[in-house]
Amino acid sequence: GENVEQHPSTLSVQEGDSAVIKCTYSDSASNYFPWYKQELGKRPQLIIDIRSNVGEKKDQRIAVTLNKTAKHFSLHITETQPEDSAVYFCAPVDTGRRALTFGSGTRLQVQP
Amino acid sequence: NAGVMQNPRHLVRRRGQEARLRCSPMKGHSHVYWYRQLPEEGLKFMVYLQKENIIDESGMPKERFSAEFPKEGPSILRIQQVVRGDSAAYFCASSPGPGGTEAFFGQGTRLTVV
């Protein structure tokens, strides 16, 4: 199965700073790379995803970069705001064989 | 589109009873996934289903747990003879394509075993 690791496990930044979370995976057949945000007591929400034929994708303040050779992808949040505070999960997957395997999560705290 | 609907939102069961958790996928989604989450922990994969088929149940405990996604009606996660350790949030997700591509989650069912 897929082994997924996220770093760091916790991240505290000042409002307006950037935050970067890295996800490493083991299955070289993985072809879909989403990031989910989960606020306390709520459901995970898909915030951005990327497929294996693309190296980078951006959506306003959020971007994802993929390095398939090194088997890692990263979430970048710029101009952080207090409402970005949440737990972020990566979930790389080989969509032809498996379902999403979630990392252990990164707790992001944005200090106002 | 009402999104992924799970019910009940909260469920309390005594040890030894059965728990039935329901999940209606988003309209047009034929792939359903169940995940379990303990407080302050990540999402653990349990089972992946399509209509009338179990695609991957490698995350399901061998005993007491079962899942189905019938031709008509919601997907059901059934836990028989519940124990305190079954207390958790159970999330269902659905996707239009395989493997969890663009998967959306329901609000979850919080099971408490007393």
B-chain CB neighbours of A32 within 8 Å are 99-101
Question: Across the interface, do A93 and B99 touch by the CB < 8 Å criterion?
Answer: yes
Q: Which of A34, A89, A98 sits opposite B42 (nearest CB)?
A: A89
Pick out chain A residues at pLDDT < 50: none
Q: Is B56 within 8 Å of chain A by CB?
A: yes
**Test mutation, A43, A48, A59, chain B, max B CBs within 10 A:** A43
User: Using CA atoms, how far apart are residues B6 and B113, in angstroms rounded to an integer?
Assistant: 19
pLDDT of residue A85: 98
CA quadruple A32, A57, A9, B89: dihedral, nearest 10: -50
| Res A54: pLDDT | 83
Phi, psi (rounded to 5 degrees) for B85: -65, -10
Amino acid B39: pLDDT: 86
For residue B45, which residues of chain A lie inside 8 Å, CB to CB? 99-102
Tell me which chain A residues have a C-beta less than 8 angstroms from the C-beta of B41.
Answer: 104-105
| Residue of B35, B41, B99 lying closest to A98 (CB–CB) | B99
User: Checking DSSP bridges between strand B104-105 and strand A32-38, what pairing results, if any?
Assistant: unpaired
The pair of three-digit structure tokens given for residue B88, joined into one six-digit string: 């958790």
> What is the DSSP pairing of strand B10-13 with strand B109-113?
parallel
Report whether A10 contacts A105 (CB < 8 A): no
3-class SS of residue A86: strand
User: Is residue A29 less than 8 Å (CB to CB) from chain B?
Assistant: no
The predicted pLDDT at position B1 comes to: 60
Which residue of B38, B101, B104, B107 to mutate against A (max A Cβ within 10 Å)?
B101
With beta carbons under 8 A apart, name residues in chain B contacting A49.
Answer: 102
Task: With a cut of 70, list the residues of chain B below it in pLDDT.
Answer: 1
B61 contacts B9 by C-beta, under 8 angstroms: no
B108 touches chain A (CB under 8 A): yes
